[in-house]
Structure 1
Amino acid sequence: MVPEFFTQTNGRGDGEQTLAPDSSFSNLEEAEKALQELAQVFPQPHSFISGIGLDFATNEVSKAAVPPEAPLLNMEAKYRALVEQIPAVVFMAYLDQGIGEAYVSPQIETALGFSQSEWLEDPVRWYQQIHPDDKMRWSVEAAEMFLSGKPLRSSYRVMARDGRVLWFQCEAKMIRRADGSPWFIHGVGFDVTERKALEEAILEISAREQRRIAQDLHDGLGQHLTGIAFMSKVLEEKLSDKSLPEAEEAAKIVKMVNQAIENTRQLARGLHPVAAEPLGLFSALKKWASEVEGLFHIGCSFQCENPFPIHDVNLATHLYRIAQEAVNNAIRHGKSRNIVIGLSGKNGAGLLAIQDDGDGILKKQASQPGVGLSIMNYRADMVGGSLKVQANEGRGITVSCMFPIRSPE
């Protein structure tokens, strides 16, 4: 017979019980009584609970009864229990030892349908499950972590056993030995699929509303203003034919209405800058670069040797906004005189890069990123990409965004 306080059902529904200490004792006397009950159940209590070193003859803890490795094992057990309660996939892999030394928490089975042993026994399983469109980006970011030692923080799509595509926010870090050589990698992956779906839905609704407002501005207000401009021009001509002094005032009205029409067009274009077509981003960036040159009287060019289709208008719009923010920062903060916007893509991965020759990033700006940089990071994360800002060898900085090129569904 096992005391009730020390049992619990095993969770399989078959009624079988397993030993599991209940720590709901209100005082020391209750705990001692429970241990005395255990002593009656087990003829040789020391063989069962020698690990806690309790001497029933004296009711005192005996240090000699504790094995030398017990504290370490106890700490490991506590650490493992803590890790395995975290609602995320925790992993660790040694770089100088075999697969048997790797670890992944049991949440891997809940998240992706693979058991711990299945995940660890296949050394390339984790890479195979990365979404094809994200593999190259992961390879680049992982290589940067190995070479620079900087933590890896990014979002990736992972394929579950049943074919579902899940988004994981991954954070990993490489630990080095005292001599600087790589030792092991540890990290955590949070399932952010639901959050991603909600964010994408919100952004889609927002983008749809912006397109609707842009269309209304163009087809509604824009057309009304065009009609007013035409009528004002006719009135100006009639007054001019009669040599009336009011003709000059009518001409001013025509000029102001035409300016309002242009402002309306720019506002509509700002709300919906990228046309919903495969090469819409390329046309928008080329036009934006030309507008920057004319407006700020600096050099600004768009370069893309091999244009490639981007079928996702939301992806194209986010990339356009990143380029727009980077260019504005280069002019406003960096005092740049020459800016190059580059776009390239290969093997399912694209790269947007904005290079300038400005003053670069001040130490204060680097330690306290502004709102613009935070928004660019957020936009890059929303499209499954990653943003990087680095100083050029000479002057200025380069803002680059690596992103997955998704095939049309």
Structure 2
Amino acid sequence: MTARENASSTMPAENSSGEGAELLRQKLQQAEEALRGARAELECVLDLVTHGIRIVNKDYSIKAINRALAEMSGVSAEQVVGRKCYEIFPSVACHTGECRMARILGGEESVRVEIERARSDGSTVPCLVTAIPFHGPEGETAGIIETFRDITMRRQMQAQLLESEERYKALINLGTEVGEAVVMLQDESGIEALQTFVSDEWPRITGYDKNELLSMSFFDLVIPAERVASMERHRIKMSGKTLPGLFEINIVRRDGAIIPVELTSAFTMYRGQRANVAYIRDISERKKAEKELKKQTIIFQAHLDSSLDGIMVVDPEGNRLIQNSSVDRIWGIPQRAKNQPGAGPGLPVVSARTKDSQQFHDKVLRLANDPTEKIRDEVELINGKVIERYSAPITGADGKRYGRIWNFHDVTETKKAERALRESEELYRTLFENTGTATSLAEEDATIVLVNTEFEKLSGYSKAEIEGKKKWTEFIPAADLPLALEYSREISSDPSRIPNGFELRFVARNKRIKNVIVTVNRIPGGTRRIASIKDITRRKRVEKDLKKSRQRIRGLLEHVELVREEERKRIAVEIHDELGQLLTALKMDVVWLAKRIPAEQENMQKRASSMRQTVDMTIQSVKRISAELRPHVLDNLGLSAAIEWQVKQIKDVTGVDCRFVSSPPDVTPDADTAVALFRIFQEAITNAVRHSKASQIMVELRQFPVRIRLTVEDNGLGIKHSEINDAKAFGLIGIKEKARALGGDVEITGRPNRGTVITAEIPLRKKEDINGKDTYRG
């Protein structure tokens, strides 16, 4: 290609390059103008913001500050833009890990700190600084934007608030020291009177902890009866109105106790909200003191009013201060004279009622002016009454005279009683001497002070030898003395526990022992005891002989019963063994004959069959009679099995619902006890079947460690009390005797139309206590 061609080929390229450069320059110029406009707009926006703003590149050069920061720092934007931030605004965080730029470049999304911003004049401004990153075109962190908020006013408010809180805490602490709680009540979260603040005293009073109280309405603590009135007062307070004075309410502690509190409250603002601040004091102790004072006042007044004595207190001038109603009653003072001034009310009226009115009047006036004299005398009235009078001055510990107390006691009846007592004593001595039994009167220390003639005869000693010289304990043998002393102590504490006549032995002269019955009573109103002693020595000898006779008869009855049982056993065995064998052989012969009778002889066949049935019936009768005399099951299987067999027999024969329970299943007493209990059972169940018209009979046999109990209960007519003790009721007498022979006891009770219960208890006997050979195998 030629040079011309080259030149011609390059011409368009040069033109094109020049046009592009121009276009680029124009765009750059436009971009700069847009940037200047954006900067102007940014500066305008920044200047409109009331708090300081600073933009710092990541190389720590200051990119921009607004007017507010310039005014806050005392420097202009021209002085700081383009310079390093640590040169213009140095701080202790610069070049450390606490540097806000370093923390943002380190990955934190924002940084918020409080600093003291230094001004150009050397002063400082407290600021809240918030730093956030700003990003370049590629999204990289290009620097930080910082906001500086002047918190001088907030610091001042915080200081004022702190000072207010300190004063408030001091007030609360003072309330705690004097036992007063402070509670802030606000209507929040749908809860009326929510407790939003409580002092330490309130948990102590209520028993709740602070967290519990701060979630509760104050009304939750008030008793239901006072809740509505408390709500009304709270609402009035929250409206800003005032309610004068203190008031009392009752609150329920956490433990359920109800305590009274005294409360006053006032409207206030708390945390920017309306509040009712309450000052509360626990007045439980005060209430107790008031209650006790009221109680003591009532008791004192009741004591005065209930006293039969007239009690009156007068001041040094004789004017009445205190007087009960008995004064007017004793002296008959009319209403018009009660308020009369002078030496006590109604003095002229009272004086006129005495036998020596002038002497009485003069003595009262003299005592009214005497600061020391005490008197006790008797005053006779013209109507026959006798008044015992006592008077003494009332003087304080400082020696000051406060008045005089008068006490009047109507002793008219006492005087009559004294006369009657003297007459009674004469009568008593006459009766004492002529009771017909030996009688003694002793002091609490056992000294005998008085005896009658019969006591002399019983003891063999004279009155002169006994009265004031001997103790009643000397007449009691040593073996009987503990019981007698125990009775003596019981007479002092609870006379009702002493039997009315108890037996003791009595030691007469020459150590002669006598049997006596003693009845002792305490003389009313004193400590002396009167004893009536009856000689029963002869009666005791007769009783002893009678007891021996009964023991011999009982022994004879036991022997007869034993012989009877042995005879029953022998006869039962003979009937069962011998007669049973003969009947069995006879039955075999009848069967043998029947087999040999020709079939055509029908009459003979019928006769032989009838004979065989008769023999079978006879065999069953022999078994029954043998069993009734002495059941083999009693000897072979034991008491429980024998009773169970007998119950089944009765149930099958009579149709009565009989039931038997044995615990343990096999009760195993000795042979004599087994036979006795079986015979008692037979008699009891026979009575129930024959006489009670019972439809149910329950038999229970229980063995305990030391005894056996048999109970037979039916639902029949019920035995009468007269039938239980009927001398002709030989069956019941036999039951009782069988049990007593073995040291046992029987209880029989009847309930009309509800049945009869017979219970027999017999002690278990040890092998060494069993006499004779025991052939019983149960």
Q: What range describes the TM-score normalised by the shorter chain of this pair?
A: 0.5 to 0.7
Cα distance in structure 1, aligned partners of 2:695 and 2:457? 59
1:313 has 2:671 as partner:
yes
1:205 has 2:542 as partner:
no
**372, 376, 381: which one aligns with 2:731:** 372
**746, 749, 752: which one aligns with 1:390:** 749
- The answer (yes or no) to whether the contact 2:724–2:732 under 8 Å persists in 1 is no
Q: Which has the higher strand share?
A: 2
Cα distance in structure 2, aligned partners of 1:202 and 1:269? 21
Q: 1:92 to 1:349 in 2, by over 3 A?
A: farther
Deviations 1:373-406 (A, max 9, x none): 1121122222221111013597101001110111
Q: What does residue range 105-254 of structure 1 map to in structure 2 within 5 Å?
A: 190=547, 197-239=555-597, 241-254=599-612
- The answer (yes or no) to whether the contact 1:274–1:280 under 8 Å persists in 2 is no
Q: 1:323 to 1:219 in 2, by over 3 A?
A: same
Q: Secondary structure at the match of 1:399?
A: strand
Q: What does residue range 85-104 of structure 1 map to in structure 2 within 5 Å?
A: 96-97=487-488
Cα distance in structure 1, aligned partners of 2:481 and 2:653? 52
Q: 1:392 to 1:364 in 2, by over 3 A?
A: closer
Give how far 1:69 is off.
Answer: 1.2
1:350 has 2:708 as partner:
yes
Q: 1:75 to 1:234 in 2, by over 3 A?
A: farther
Give how far 1:239 is off.
Answer: 2.1
**717, 738, 759: which one aligns with 1:400:** 759
- What letter is aligned with 1:286? E
- What letter is aligned with 2:759? S
Give how far 1:105 is off.
Answer: 5.8
Number of aligned positions between the proteins? 256
1:256 has 2:638 as partner:
no
CA RMSD of aligned residues (A): 3.8
Q: 1:91 to 1:305 in 2, by over 3 A?
A: farther
Cα distance in structure 2, aligned partners of 1:176 and 1:247? 92
Cα distance in structure 2, aligned partners of 1:329 and 1:91? 50
Q: 1:75 to 1:353 in 2, by over 3 A?
A: farther
Give how far 1:243 is off.
Answer: 4.2
Q: What does residue range 281-296 of structure 1 map to in structure 2 within 5 Å?
A: 281-296=639-654
Deviations 1:141-160 (A, max 9, x none): xxxxxxxxxxxxxxxxxxxx
Deviations 1:58-107 (A, max 9, x none): xxxxxxxxx951334257559xxxxxxxxxxx9996775569x986669x
Cα distance in structure 2, aligned partners of 1:379 and 1:401? 10
Residue aligning to 1:50: none
Cα distance in structure 1, aligned partners of 2:576 and 2:631? 13
Give how far 1:364 is off.
Answer: 4.6
- What letter is aligned with 1:378? E
Q: Secondary structure at the match of 1:304?
A: strand
1:360 has 2:742 as partner:
no
Tell which deviates more after alignment, 206-215 or 237-246: 237-246
Cα distance in structure 1, aligned partners of 2:481 and 2:678? 36
> What TM-score do you get using the length of structure 2 for normalisation?
0.30
Cα distance in structure 2, aligned partners of 1:385 and 1:198? 18
Q: Secondary structure at the match of 2:693?
A: coil
- What letter is aligned with 2:762? F
- The answer (yes or no) to whether the contact 1:274–1:313 under 8 Å persists in 2 is no
Higher relative contact order (CA 8 A, sep 6+): 1
**56, 60, 70: which one aligns with 2:452:** 70
Residue aligning to 1:44: none
- What letter is aligned with 1:375? G
Structure number, greater radius of gyration: 2
Cα distance in structure 2, aligned partners of 1:342 and 1:105? 46
- The answer (yes or no) to whether the contact 1:92–1:104 under 8 Å persists in 2 is no
Cα distance in structure 1, aligned partners of 2:671 and 2:660? 19
Identity %: 22
Give how far 1:234 is off.
Answer: 2.2
Q: Structure 2: which 5+ residue stretches go unaligned?
A: 1-448, 461-479, 491-497, 507-512, 514-518, 522-535, 769-778
- The answer (yes or no) to whether the contact 1:92–1:103 under 8 Å persists in 2 is no
Cα distance in structure 2, aligned partners of 1:395 and 1:75? 58
Cα distance in structure 1, aligned partners of 2:556 and 2:481? 27
Residue aligning to 1:323: 681
Give how far 1:322 is off.
Answer: 1.1
Cα distance in structure 1, aligned partners of 2:586 and 2:712? 42
